A and B are shown apart, each in its own frame.
Chain A
């Protein structure tokens, strides 16, 4: 462990605590496993001395498919990495440099675990034709093992997305692991029927988003006035025009 890694972990611990607390407040049956910090977040060897490389997960969320459902039978697995650059890792926001995230969704019904969605979220400024932030849908059946191990399930696995076309690259926001967690919790724990208290819990979740600044800070083609006031997807290929 280095001083930089300790500083990053302190921030991550505070954010993860808010995620856990607000998730439970939004839906008492919602949970995630593992829930010990060190079992979820680990540091890898960074690319340079002035970087910190954080590995996240796999972490499994047990959620209702919709916020008003009475049972939580949807399992979402997240795994990813995100790197931060220094020199200052104590002051927020942490400055992200690169990331990669995978998510897999599984519906537990009648004893079977059905793989219903999977995606890889990526950051790419090198390859032509790749939007800088994008999602590719793909099966991640291997994540079912994490669901079964953490929630002690037996039974068979099925998949409804095994043949999905995997080179569709949808331009997206920066979907690092923490962004993905926010998206997953808002999809399944917030709805038009949410009470004011629930919306207050969601607001606390949203406020954690500010602990990371996106990698776009390093990309001149995304920092000019036009992209930041437009958001149409052609800007996401701007590295070709740079």
Chain B
């Protein structure tokens, strides 16, 4: 069986080598190969050539957006499409800041354009998919009956959060018809072999976890979301992450980011509130900040919202990455923009007013 591999695609040999060098520094090269492709007309049909570089053990493909240096008309979107057809996780990047939309589709990733950051992201993402696939290849006896959300909750060690996670999966039906077709085939041939099943399900759950659950705060909070939850400046992320290190999320994709379980943070807040003199405040975020400051014996910095002077907060706008609050002039809870399970996500009003008319909301 071939070794697991990551395929890097770039029309600039120098930039590709730079990325490869950074990736070699963070990967275990005994466990995974790095393949490379600089598209060239002498290779014949790009799609046919691509198919020779990938196989069932390809963990991830990473491609530049513009591949037209030698191959006229070849863009990363084609690579993305071929990967999606084969259920290979794919990320793309562009060194031109306006070439790619900041928000990828559910079944693709946006890779940082700087080589060192990109390498960390690729290593973490590839590792996360491999982790999921291994866990799904050895299914528990009743795994067939549990459903995707319950499976993911079980893998993350939080089976009671299946409802929370199912609310991130509710729009799967509209995201990619080809993938849904593969899911249907899986359910129709009930006893399909475990590796094939693991490939399909790890592909879906991996994307949902990385592009939805970890990105739109709900049951799991990034450091930006945690700071917003406490209504404090992102500069205090290190302090808060240290304070709540017992709540750390250490599951798939945790290597290139810091995350905590919200329910554990909530328990710690309640424990701290019960232990000391009563505290009250106008909003959750203010109260949580008071609690955290009491736990730390230090003051946290207010976030920089010009509307409330950084006093409120409690929610994160995943598009502007600013802390927002429930004030009508601050944020909206926009149906359709944010997964239903992302209870700590709200859209900053200024951003919403700019884009809602264009999108018909």
**Which residues of A approach B to under 8 Å, CB–CB?**
1-3, 6-7, 9-10, 13, 17-18, 20-22, 24-25, 28, 33-39, 90, 204
Contact = CB atoms under 8 A, between A and B. Distances in A.
Given A17-B163, A39-B333, A6 B273 contact: yes
Contacts of A38: 326
Contact of A90 (B166, B270, B287): B270
Interface of B: 149, 162-164, 166-167, 170, 173, 266, 269-270, 273-274, 278-284, 286-287, 326, 333, 335, 340-341, 343, 346
A34 B274 CA distance: 32
A28 B167 CA distance: 12
B278 A3 contact: yes
A22 B163 contact: yes
Binding site secondary structure of chain A: helix
A21 B163 contact: yes
A63 B333 CA distance: 22
Contact of A36 (B149, B270, B278, B333): B333
Contacts, number: 61
A37 B333 CA distance: 10
B315 to A, nearest CB: 9
Interface centre among A36, A39, A90, A204, by most chain B C-beta atoms within 10 angstroms, is A36
A7 B267 CA distance: 9
A10 B335 contact: no
Given A1-B281, A35-B335, A7 B163 contact: no
Given A3-B273, A24-B166, A38-B326, 11 more contacts: A1-B280, A6-B287, A10-B266, A17-B167, A17-B343, A21-B163, A22-B163, A33-B335, A35-B335, A36-B343, A90-B274
A6 B270 contact: yes
Contacts of B280: 1-2
A30 B321 CA distance: 31
A37 B338 CA distance: 14
Contact of A17 (B164, B283, B287, B346): B164
Contacts of A37: 343
A34 B287 CA distance: 25
A21 B269 contact: no
Contact of A204 (B163, B266, B340): B163
A201 to B, nearest CB: 10
Contact of A35 (B282, B283, B326, B340): B340
Nearest to B166: A21
Contacts of A20: 163, 167, 340
A6 B341 CA distance: 19
Contacts of B162: 21
Contacts of B282: 1
Contacts of A17: 163-164, 167, 341, 343
Nearest to B331: A36
A13 B343 contact: yes
Quick one: which of A3, A25, A37 has the most chain B CB within 10 A?
A: A3
A6 B273 CA distance: 10
Of A17, A20, A35, most B-chain CB atoms within 10 Å? A17
